[in-house]
Amino acid sequence: MKLQKTALIAGASGLIGSQLLPLLLASDRYAKVITVGRRPVPIMHPKLEQRVLNLDQLEQHRMSLIADDVFCCLGTTMRQAGSKEAFYKVDYLYVVKLAALTAANFAAQFMVVSSMGADAGSRFYYNHVKGEMEQAIRQTPFRAIHIFRPSLLLGDRAEKRTGEQFGAVLLRVLNPVLVGPLRKYRAVAAATVARAMLRAAEDDGGGILVHLSDEIAVERALSR
């Protein structure tokens, strides 16, 4: 029997989101998939409903944000954002507001992409904001919250990031020797994270779970 659930994905045009959206559309779990973002994605599908909106005005669109499972792939970099304030808006305010609104609409599960090193007590601004975001998300009344903390992500981005490209090449070489406690630093493919997010939703469990890079990769290997 096919389930008739609704998935909502924010950040569907990003590195992980662009890998996740086709998986959601292909899944028998969902009868409808809603995307939320500032621009439409170039996909047509009978299940797909696109909500093109200003993320500063999420609250005004609350009744368009009704779903069973919510996948949040929002995120930027300091360089892209241009300032700490702009970065905070995308990686904290938008994410936390989406969680609050969808929880108020009785969504059951929230899957969110964070980052390795997320820590509200960190001296590094990026990790500090990610940690604060996680703390806020943990307070929302979802049945299940899945926090994904990937290391460096591998995949083709729309924009090129020279530093990340160099790091990706380096970590591809180093991955085999990153063992034991160092496994969590292994680079992970965006497609692998996307599959792990869908699999977490399909488990239909409860509680708050944190998924690290090495665990995401192992989970993927076990599911083959």
Q: What pTM does this model have?
A: 0.87
**Cβ pair 65, 101 in contact under 8 A:** yes
Residue 44 CB coordination number (10 Å): 7
Q: What is the mean pLDDT of residues 20-27?
A: 98
* pLDDT at residue number 224: 39
Range of the domain at 206: 5-223
Is 143 strand, coil or helix? coil
Number of domains the chain contains: 1
CA pair distance 123, 125, nearest whole angstrom: 6
CATH code: domain of residue 193: 3.40.50.720
Residue the block writes with tokens 């009868």: 31
Mean pLDDT score of the chain, rounded to an integer?
87
Could you tell me which residue, 103 or 153, shows the higher pLDDT? Answer: 103
pLDDT in tens, 108-135: 999 999 999 999 999 999 999 999 999 9
Q: Which of these ranges, 35-39, 81-85, 126-130, 151-155, has the smallest mean pLDDT?
A: 151-155
pLDDT in tens, 9-23: 999 999 999 999 999
Q: What is the mean pLDDT of residues 15-36?
A: 97
